[in-house]
Structure 1
Amino acid sequence: MPRTSQPLRRRRTALPLYACLTLTALAALTGCADTSTSKAPADAAHRPSTISTPDTGTTVTPPKTPKTPKSSARPPVHVSIPSLGVDSAVMRLGLNADGTVEVPPAEKGMTAGWYTGGAVPGEPGPAVLIGHNDTRFGRAVFHDLKNITKGADIAVRDDAGTEIHFTVTGRETADKKAFPTARVYGPTDDRALRLITCDGAFDAQGHPVDNLIVYAKRK
Protein backbone atom coordinates (compact mmCIF):
# COMPACT_ATOMS: atom_id res chain seq x y z
CA MET A 1 0.00 0.00 0.00
CA PRO A 2 -1.24 4.97 2.16
CA ARG A 3 -4.11 2.80 5.35
CA THR A 4 -3.58 16.22 7.72
CA SER A 5 -6.99 16.65 8.96
CA GLN A 6 -9.53 18.16 6.68
CA PRO A 7 -12.86 18.62 8.40
CA LEU A 8 -14.40 20.69 5.64
CA ARG A 9 -16.63 19.01 3.13
CA ARG A 10 -15.29 19.17 -0.40
CA ARG A 11 -17.06 19.17 -3.68
CA ARG A 12 -16.11 16.14 -5.64
CA THR A 13 -14.28 17.02 -8.76
CA ALA A 14 -13.84 13.65 -10.34
CA LEU A 15 -15.07 10.11 -10.49
CA PRO A 16 -15.33 8.10 -7.29
CA LEU A 17 -12.63 5.57 -6.74
CA TYR A 18 -11.89 4.77 -3.15
CA ALA A 19 -8.34 5.36 -4.00
CA CYS A 20 -5.35 6.42 -2.05
CA LEU A 21 -1.79 6.12 -3.06
CA THR A 22 0.96 3.78 -3.62
CA LEU A 23 4.21 5.55 -3.28
CA THR A 24 6.46 5.12 -6.24
CA ALA A 25 9.98 4.18 -6.05
CA LEU A 26 11.16 1.24 -4.21
CA ALA A 27 8.17 -0.25 -2.67
CA ALA A 28 6.06 1.62 -0.33
CA LEU A 29 2.42 1.98 -0.51
CA THR A 30 -0.06 4.49 0.34
CA GLY A 31 -2.59 4.90 -2.27
CA CYS A 32 -6.23 4.53 -2.41
CA ALA A 33 -8.17 3.62 -5.41
CA ASP A 34 -10.71 1.18 -6.63
CA THR A 35 -10.80 0.76 -10.35
CA SER A 36 -14.05 -1.15 -10.08
CA THR A 37 -16.01 1.97 -9.17
CA SER A 38 -16.95 4.53 -11.72
CA LYS A 39 -19.05 7.11 -9.93
CA ALA A 40 -18.13 9.53 -7.25
CA PRO A 41 -20.03 9.32 -3.97
CA ALA A 42 -23.25 11.27 -3.85
CA ASP A 43 -22.13 12.97 -0.64
CA ALA A 44 -18.74 14.68 -0.67
CA ALA A 45 -18.27 13.68 2.94
CA HIS A 46 -17.85 10.12 1.70
CA ARG A 47 -15.22 10.92 -0.90
CA PRO A 48 -12.80 8.06 -1.60
CA SER A 49 -9.82 8.16 0.70
CA THR A 50 -8.23 4.80 1.03
CA ILE A 51 -5.13 3.08 0.08
CA SER A 52 -4.64 2.67 -3.56
CA THR A 53 -3.54 -0.26 -5.60
CA PRO A 54 -0.25 -0.03 -7.51
CA ASP A 55 -1.83 0.44 -10.90
CA THR A 56 -4.02 3.35 -9.87
CA GLY A 57 -1.99 5.23 -7.33
CA THR A 58 1.26 7.13 -7.26
CA THR A 59 3.97 4.77 -6.22
CA VAL A 60 6.58 5.43 -3.60
CA THR A 61 9.65 3.53 -2.66
CA PRO A 62 10.50 3.30 0.99
CA PRO A 63 14.20 3.01 1.57
CA LYS A 64 15.49 -0.38 2.57
CA THR A 65 16.46 -0.08 6.18
CA PRO A 66 18.40 -2.77 7.99
CA LYS A 67 16.17 -4.42 10.54
CA THR A 68 17.51 -6.15 13.58
CA PRO A 69 14.40 -7.08 15.50
CA LYS A 70 14.91 -8.83 18.78
CA SER A 71 14.16 -12.51 18.82
CA SER A 72 11.29 -11.76 21.17
CA ALA A 73 9.59 -9.42 18.68
CA ARG A 74 6.09 -10.63 17.83
CA PRO A 75 4.01 -9.60 14.81
CA PRO A 76 0.97 -7.36 15.41
CA VAL A 77 -2.52 -8.81 15.14
CA HIS A 78 -4.72 -6.00 16.43
CA VAL A 79 -4.79 -2.19 16.63
CA SER A 80 -7.11 0.11 18.50
CA ILE A 81 -7.47 3.88 18.74
CA PRO A 82 -9.93 4.52 21.59
CA SER A 83 -10.42 8.20 20.80
CA LEU A 84 -11.62 7.33 17.28
CA GLY A 85 -13.44 4.10 18.03
CA VAL A 86 -10.99 2.13 15.86
CA ASP A 87 -10.83 -1.55 16.80
CA SER A 88 -9.32 -3.64 14.04
CA ALA A 89 -7.53 -6.87 13.30
CA VAL A 90 -4.18 -6.42 11.55
CA MET A 91 -3.25 -8.37 8.42
CA ARG A 92 0.24 -8.69 6.94
CA LEU A 93 1.24 -6.72 3.85
CA GLY A 94 4.28 -7.43 1.73
CA LEU A 95 5.35 -6.21 -1.71
CA ASN A 96 3.63 -6.54 -5.06
CA ALA A 97 5.48 -7.86 -8.11
CA ASP A 98 6.20 -4.28 -9.20
CA GLY A 99 7.88 -3.44 -5.90
CA THR A 100 5.02 -1.42 -4.42
CA VAL A 101 3.63 -2.15 -0.99
CA GLU A 102 0.50 -4.22 -0.82
CA VAL A 103 -2.67 -2.74 0.63
CA PRO A 104 -5.66 -4.47 2.22
CA PRO A 105 -8.20 -5.66 -0.36
CA ALA A 106 -11.35 -3.53 -0.71
CA GLU A 107 -13.51 -6.25 0.83
CA LYS A 108 -11.37 -5.96 3.98
CA GLY A 109 -11.74 -2.22 4.25
CA MET A 110 -12.30 -2.40 8.00
CA THR A 111 -9.00 -4.24 8.50
CA ALA A 112 -5.67 -2.45 8.89
CA GLY A 113 -2.47 -3.89 7.46
CA TRP A 114 1.12 -4.04 8.74
CA TYR A 115 3.92 -3.55 6.22
CA THR A 116 6.28 -6.43 7.04
CA GLY A 117 9.21 -4.69 5.34
CA GLY A 118 9.32 -2.19 8.20
CA ALA A 119 9.87 -2.63 11.92
CA VAL A 120 7.74 -4.75 14.23
CA PRO A 121 5.57 -2.36 16.29
CA GLY A 122 7.35 -1.63 19.55
CA GLU A 123 10.83 -2.39 18.21
CA PRO A 124 13.37 0.29 17.13
CA GLY A 125 12.58 1.67 13.70
CA PRO A 126 9.47 2.72 11.78
CA ALA A 127 6.52 0.34 11.98
CA VAL A 128 3.91 1.15 9.35
CA LEU A 129 0.18 0.38 9.47
CA ILE A 130 -1.91 1.05 6.37
CA GLY A 131 -5.66 1.36 6.20
CA HIS A 132 -8.38 2.50 3.82
CA ASN A 133 -10.45 5.61 4.39
CA ASP A 134 -13.35 4.48 2.22
CA THR A 135 -13.86 1.68 -0.27
CA ARG A 136 -16.65 0.83 -2.67
CA PHE A 137 -18.22 -1.02 0.26
CA GLY A 138 -18.41 2.11 2.40
CA ARG A 139 -16.40 3.78 5.14
CA ALA A 140 -13.27 1.94 6.17
CA VAL A 141 -11.02 1.46 9.19
CA PHE A 142 -9.11 4.77 8.97
CA HIS A 143 -12.07 6.88 7.85
CA ASP A 144 -11.79 9.15 10.91
CA LEU A 145 -7.99 9.22 11.13
CA LYS A 146 -8.07 12.89 10.13
CA ASN A 147 -9.63 13.64 13.52
CA ILE A 148 -6.82 12.15 15.61
CA THR A 149 -5.12 14.57 18.00
CA LYS A 150 -1.61 14.93 19.37
CA GLY A 151 -1.24 12.85 22.51
CA ALA A 152 -3.88 10.30 21.47
CA ASP A 153 -3.26 6.69 22.45
CA ILE A 154 -2.79 3.91 19.89
CA ALA A 155 -2.63 0.34 21.18
CA VAL A 156 -1.13 -2.50 19.15
CA ARG A 157 -1.46 -6.09 20.36
CA ASP A 158 0.90 -8.82 19.21
CA ASP A 159 0.16 -12.49 18.61
CA ALA A 160 1.26 -13.35 22.15
CA GLY A 161 -1.37 -11.06 23.65
CA THR A 162 1.02 -8.29 24.68
CA GLU A 163 -0.37 -4.79 24.15
CA ILE A 164 2.02 -1.97 23.29
CA HIS A 165 0.91 1.65 23.56
CA PHE A 166 1.99 4.55 21.37
CA THR A 167 1.40 8.28 21.75
CA VAL A 168 0.60 10.41 18.70
CA THR A 169 3.27 13.07 18.19
CA GLY A 170 1.97 14.66 15.01
CA ARG A 171 0.39 14.23 11.61
CA GLU A 172 0.75 15.65 8.15
CA THR A 173 -0.94 15.67 4.78
CA ALA A 174 1.43 15.02 1.88
CA ASP A 175 0.93 15.22 -1.85
CA LYS A 176 1.31 11.74 -3.28
CA LYS A 177 3.80 13.12 -5.79
CA ALA A 178 5.97 14.44 -2.97
CA PHE A 179 5.56 11.72 -0.38
CA PRO A 180 8.03 12.09 2.54
CA THR A 181 9.48 8.62 2.03
CA ALA A 182 12.56 9.12 4.20
CA ARG A 183 10.55 10.61 7.04
CA VAL A 184 8.04 7.76 7.03
CA TYR A 185 10.17 4.73 6.16
CA GLY A 186 13.68 5.94 6.93
CA PRO A 187 15.81 4.55 9.77
CA THR A 188 15.26 5.86 13.28
CA ASP A 189 16.30 4.79 16.76
CA ASP A 190 12.80 5.58 17.99
CA ARG A 191 10.25 2.82 18.50
CA ALA A 192 8.06 4.58 16.01
CA LEU A 193 4.64 3.92 14.50
CA ARG A 194 3.17 5.46 11.34
CA LEU A 195 -0.43 5.19 10.23
CA ILE A 196 -1.19 5.94 6.57
CA THR A 197 -4.39 6.47 4.61
CA CYS A 198 -5.66 8.71 1.79
CA ASP A 199 -6.94 12.24 1.98
CA GLY A 200 -7.48 15.36 -0.07
CA ALA A 201 -9.33 16.41 -3.19
CA PHE A 202 -9.72 14.30 -6.31
CA ASP A 203 -7.52 14.45 -9.37
CA ALA A 204 -8.87 14.13 -12.91
CA GLN A 205 -8.91 10.33 -12.62
CA GLY A 206 -10.90 10.41 -9.39
CA HIS A 207 -8.01 9.56 -7.04
CA PRO A 208 -7.39 11.46 -3.79
CA VAL A 209 -4.27 13.53 -4.34
CA ASP A 210 -2.90 13.37 -0.81
CA ASN A 211 -1.94 10.92 1.90
CA LEU A 212 -2.58 11.43 5.58
CA ILE A 213 0.29 10.29 7.79
CA VAL A 214 0.08 10.00 11.58
CA TYR A 215 3.31 9.76 13.60
CA ALA A 216 3.52 8.12 17.01
CA LYS A 217 6.13 6.86 19.48
CA ARG A 218 6.06 4.02 21.95
CA LYS A 219 5.20 5.13 25.47
Structure 2
Amino acid sequence: MTGSAAPLDPQASSRRWVAWGVGSVLLVAAILIALGVGRADPGATGASGPRAASGPVLAAGALQGSADRVGTRPARIAIPAIDVDAQVTDVGTDARVLEIPARPWIVGWWRDGMGAGSIRGATVLAAHLDSAVYGPGPFTRVGQLQRGDAMTIRDINAGEHAYRVASVRMYDKTTLPYERLFDQSGRQKVVLVTCGGAYDEQDGWDSNVVVTFVPRTET
Protein backbone atom coordinates (compact mmCIF):
# COMPACT_ATOMS: atom_id res chain seq x y z
CA MET A 1 0.00 0.00 0.00
CA THR A 2 1.24 3.47 -0.81
CA GLY A 3 1.28 6.42 1.52
CA SER A 4 -1.69 8.06 -0.20
CA ALA A 5 -5.13 7.83 1.33
CA ALA A 6 -7.62 5.27 0.09
CA PRO A 7 -11.32 4.89 0.90
CA LEU A 8 -11.94 2.27 3.56
CA ASP A 9 -13.44 -1.01 2.42
CA PRO A 10 -16.52 -1.43 4.66
CA GLN A 11 -16.15 -5.22 4.42
CA ALA A 12 -12.66 -5.15 5.92
CA SER A 13 -12.07 -7.02 9.16
CA SER A 14 -13.63 -5.36 12.18
CA ARG A 15 -10.72 -6.36 14.39
CA ARG A 16 -8.42 -3.35 14.14
CA TRP A 17 -5.27 -2.03 15.66
CA VAL A 18 -4.61 1.58 16.52
CA ALA A 19 -1.06 2.84 16.12
CA TRP A 20 -0.42 6.54 16.03
CA GLY A 21 1.94 9.09 17.53
CA VAL A 22 1.14 12.33 19.33
CA GLY A 23 3.47 15.03 20.58
CA SER A 24 2.95 17.15 23.68
CA VAL A 25 3.69 20.87 23.66
CA LEU A 26 5.90 20.20 26.71
CA LEU A 27 8.17 17.79 24.86
CA VAL A 28 11.40 18.68 23.10
CA ALA A 29 11.40 18.08 19.34
CA ALA A 30 14.24 15.59 19.61
CA ILE A 31 12.19 13.24 21.82
CA LEU A 32 10.68 10.31 19.97
CA ILE A 33 7.23 8.97 20.74
CA ALA A 34 5.94 5.52 19.89
CA LEU A 35 2.29 4.63 20.35
CA GLY A 36 0.54 1.34 19.72
CA VAL A 37 -2.92 0.26 20.74
CA GLY A 38 -3.94 -3.32 20.26
CA ARG A 39 -6.32 -5.84 21.75
CA ALA A 40 -6.75 -4.88 25.36
CA ASP A 41 -6.04 -7.21 28.23
CA PRO A 42 -6.75 -6.42 31.88
CA GLY A 43 -4.48 -3.62 33.00
CA ALA A 44 -3.10 -2.96 29.54
CA THR A 45 -2.42 0.58 28.38
CA GLY A 46 -1.08 2.14 25.24
CA ALA A 47 2.36 1.83 26.76
CA SER A 48 2.23 -1.76 27.96
CA GLY A 49 -0.45 -3.44 25.86
CA PRO A 50 0.21 -6.06 23.19
CA ARG A 51 2.70 -4.93 20.55
CA ALA A 52 2.88 -1.49 22.17
CA ALA A 53 6.08 -0.75 20.28
CA SER A 54 4.74 -1.74 16.86
CA GLY A 55 3.38 1.70 16.03
CA PRO A 56 5.18 4.35 14.03
CA VAL A 57 7.82 6.45 15.72
CA LEU A 58 7.33 10.20 15.42
CA ALA A 59 9.51 13.17 16.31
CA ALA A 60 7.50 15.06 18.89
CA GLY A 61 8.21 18.37 17.21
CA ALA A 62 6.32 17.22 14.13
CA LEU A 63 3.01 17.20 16.01
CA GLN A 64 2.31 19.33 19.03
CA GLY A 65 -0.55 19.88 21.39
CA SER A 66 -2.06 23.30 21.87
CA ALA A 67 -0.83 25.63 24.60
CA ASP A 68 -4.22 27.38 24.55
CA ARG A 69 -6.64 24.49 24.26
CA VAL A 70 -10.28 25.48 23.81
CA GLY A 71 -13.53 23.56 24.00
CA THR A 72 -14.86 21.36 26.79
CA ARG A 73 -13.81 17.93 28.00
CA PRO A 74 -15.92 15.22 26.30
CA ALA A 75 -17.86 12.84 28.55
CA ARG A 76 -19.65 10.55 26.06
CA ILE A 77 -19.91 9.99 22.34
CA ALA A 78 -22.87 8.60 20.43
CA ILE A 79 -22.74 7.34 16.84
CA PRO A 80 -26.21 5.91 16.09
CA ALA A 81 -25.29 4.40 12.72
CA ILE A 82 -23.01 1.86 14.43
CA ASP A 83 -24.81 1.70 17.80
CA VAL A 84 -22.05 3.46 19.72
CA ASP A 85 -22.81 5.10 23.07
CA ALA A 86 -19.50 5.20 24.89
CA GLN A 87 -17.93 6.85 27.90
CA VAL A 88 -14.99 9.17 27.23
CA THR A 89 -12.11 9.80 29.60
CA ASP A 90 -9.18 12.14 29.20
CA VAL A 91 -5.78 10.63 28.54
CA GLY A 92 -2.29 12.03 28.63
CA THR A 93 1.15 10.53 28.27
CA ASP A 94 3.23 8.25 30.47
CA ALA A 95 6.91 8.00 29.66
CA ARG A 96 6.06 9.98 26.51
CA VAL A 97 3.54 7.39 25.31
CA LEU A 98 -0.17 8.11 25.06
CA GLU A 99 -2.19 6.09 27.56
CA ILE A 100 -5.35 4.41 26.26
CA PRO A 101 -8.09 3.05 28.56
CA ALA A 102 -7.68 -0.71 29.00
CA ARG A 103 -11.38 -1.45 28.57
CA PRO A 104 -12.28 -1.08 24.91
CA TRP A 105 -15.69 0.46 25.55
CA ILE A 106 -14.05 3.48 27.20
CA VAL A 107 -12.78 6.02 24.69
CA GLY A 108 -9.65 8.08 25.29
CA TRP A 109 -9.66 11.80 24.52
CA TRP A 110 -6.24 13.39 23.99
CA ARG A 111 -6.36 16.19 26.54
CA ASP A 112 -3.48 18.13 24.97
CA GLY A 113 -5.64 18.63 21.89
CA MET A 114 -8.89 20.52 21.47
CA GLY A 115 -12.04 19.81 23.44
CA ALA A 116 -15.60 19.34 22.25
CA GLY A 117 -17.11 22.42 20.66
CA SER A 118 -13.80 24.14 20.00
CA ILE A 119 -13.80 26.71 17.24
CA ARG A 120 -10.65 25.32 15.64
CA GLY A 121 -8.27 22.38 15.62
CA ALA A 122 -8.62 18.63 16.00
CA THR A 123 -10.36 16.82 18.83
CA VAL A 124 -8.61 13.42 18.92
CA LEU A 125 -10.34 10.27 20.21
CA ALA A 126 -8.94 6.74 20.40
CA ALA A 127 -9.81 3.39 21.96
CA HIS A 128 -9.03 -0.29 21.76
CA LEU A 129 -11.13 -1.96 19.08
CA ASP A 130 -11.71 -5.26 20.83
CA SER A 131 -10.35 -7.49 23.54
CA ALA A 132 -9.83 -11.19 23.99
CA VAL A 133 -11.13 -10.67 27.53
CA TYR A 134 -13.74 -7.92 27.21
CA GLY A 135 -15.01 -8.43 23.67
CA PRO A 136 -15.64 -5.76 21.01
CA GLY A 137 -15.16 -2.09 21.73
CA PRO A 138 -16.97 1.03 20.51
CA PHE A 139 -14.86 1.48 17.38
CA THR A 140 -15.22 -2.07 16.06
CA ARG A 141 -17.67 -1.00 13.34
CA VAL A 142 -16.21 2.37 12.34
CA GLY A 143 -15.44 0.93 8.91
CA GLN A 144 -19.18 0.81 8.23
CA LEU A 145 -19.62 4.56 8.65
CA GLN A 146 -20.74 6.55 5.63
CA ARG A 147 -20.25 10.19 4.72
CA GLY A 148 -22.90 12.24 6.52
CA ASP A 149 -23.45 9.81 9.43
CA ALA A 150 -24.04 11.65 12.68
CA MET A 151 -22.01 11.74 15.87
CA THR A 152 -22.86 13.61 19.07
CA ILE A 153 -20.35 14.45 21.78
CA ARG A 154 -21.76 15.25 25.21
CA ASP A 155 -19.37 17.27 27.32
CA ILE A 156 -18.90 17.28 31.10
CA ASN A 157 -21.28 20.24 31.39
CA ALA A 158 -24.05 18.28 29.60
CA GLY A 159 -23.61 20.35 26.46
CA GLU A 160 -24.10 18.50 23.18
CA HIS A 161 -21.99 19.01 20.06
CA ALA A 162 -23.20 17.63 16.73
CA TYR A 163 -20.89 16.33 14.01
CA ARG A 164 -21.13 14.37 10.78
CA VAL A 165 -18.72 12.07 8.97
CA ALA A 166 -16.66 13.93 6.39
CA SER A 167 -14.41 11.04 5.37
CA VAL A 168 -13.38 7.48 6.15
CA ARG A 169 -9.90 6.84 4.82
CA MET A 170 -7.06 4.35 5.04
CA TYR A 171 -3.37 5.28 5.13
CA ASP A 172 -0.18 3.26 5.28
CA LYS A 173 0.70 3.60 8.97
CA THR A 174 4.30 4.55 8.26
CA THR A 175 3.19 7.58 6.24
CA LEU A 176 0.12 8.72 8.16
CA PRO A 177 -0.10 12.53 7.69
CA TYR A 178 -0.07 13.38 11.41
CA GLU A 179 0.50 17.09 10.98
CA ARG A 180 -2.53 17.53 8.74
CA LEU A 181 -4.89 15.15 10.52
CA PHE A 182 -4.17 16.34 14.06
CA ASP A 183 -3.55 20.01 13.31
CA GLN A 184 -4.49 22.16 16.30
CA SER A 185 -4.74 25.44 14.40
CA GLY A 186 -6.89 24.55 11.39
CA ARG A 187 -10.62 24.03 10.99
CA GLN A 188 -12.57 22.33 13.75
CA LYS A 189 -12.89 18.56 13.39
CA VAL A 190 -12.99 15.33 15.37
CA VAL A 191 -10.56 12.57 14.37
CA LEU A 192 -11.01 8.89 15.24
CA VAL A 193 -8.05 6.64 14.47
CA THR A 194 -7.70 2.88 14.27
CA CYS A 195 -5.86 0.41 12.07
CA GLY A 196 -6.60 -1.96 9.24
CA GLY A 197 -5.10 -3.26 6.04
CA ALA A 198 -2.92 -6.38 6.04
CA TYR A 199 -2.18 -8.08 9.37
CA ASP A 200 1.13 -9.61 10.40
CA GLU A 201 1.63 -11.50 13.66
CA GLN A 202 4.89 -9.70 14.37
CA ASP A 203 4.15 -6.17 13.18
CA GLY A 204 0.36 -5.96 13.48
CA TRP A 205 -1.77 -4.08 10.96
CA ASP A 206 0.07 -2.15 8.25
CA SER A 207 -2.43 0.68 7.81
CA ASN A 208 -4.41 3.26 9.75
CA VAL A 209 -8.13 3.87 9.36
CA VAL A 210 -9.04 7.51 10.00
CA VAL A 211 -12.59 8.80 10.38
CA THR A 212 -12.88 12.58 10.27
CA PHE A 213 -15.98 14.37 11.53
CA VAL A 214 -16.86 18.04 11.00
CA PRO A 215 -19.56 20.13 12.70
CA ARG A 216 -22.97 19.07 11.43
CA THR A 217 -23.80 22.63 10.39
CA GLU A 218 -20.67 22.94 8.25
CA THR A 219 -21.23 22.80 4.50
SS at match of 2:57: coil
SS in 2 for 1:83: helix
The aligned residue for residue 88 of structure 1 is 86
Cα deviation per residue 1:40-75 (whole Å; 9 max; x = unaligned)?
xxxxxxxxxxx97642433345611434345xx321
- Structure in which a larger fraction of residues adopt strand: 2
Q: Which has the higher contact order (CA 8 A, sep 6+)?
A: 1
Normalising by structure 2, report the TM-score.
0.75
**Using the alignment, how far apart are the partners of 1:180 and 1:191 within structure 2?**
17
Whether 1:127 and 2:132 are equivalent positions in the alignment is: no
Partner of 2:72: 74
Counterparts in 2 of 1:156 and 1:28: CA distance versus 1, 3 Å: farther
CA 52–84 in structure 1, closer or farther in 2 if over 3 Å, else same: farther
CA RMSD in angstroms, aligned pairs only: 2.7
**Corresponding residue of 2:138:** 141
Gaps of 5+ in 1: 11-16, 37-50
SS of the residue aligned with 2:8? coil
Q: Which runs of 5 or more structure 2 residues have no equivalent in the other structure? A: 1-6, 24-31, 42-48
- Measure the CA separation in 2 of the matches of 1:52 and 1:194: 23
Check conservation: 1:20, 1:209, Cα contact below 8 A.
Answer: no
Distance 1:129 1:181, change over 3 A: same
The whole-number CA distance in structure 1 between the counterparts of 2:203 and 2:179 is 27
The percent identity for this pair of structures is 24
Change (3 A) 1:158 1:8: closer
Deviation at 1:153, TM superposition (A): 0.8
Q: 1:216 to 1:117 in 2, by over 3 A?
A: same
Aligned in 2, Cα 1:116/1:28: closer, same or farther, shift over 3 Å?
farther
Change (3 A) 1:163 1:19: same
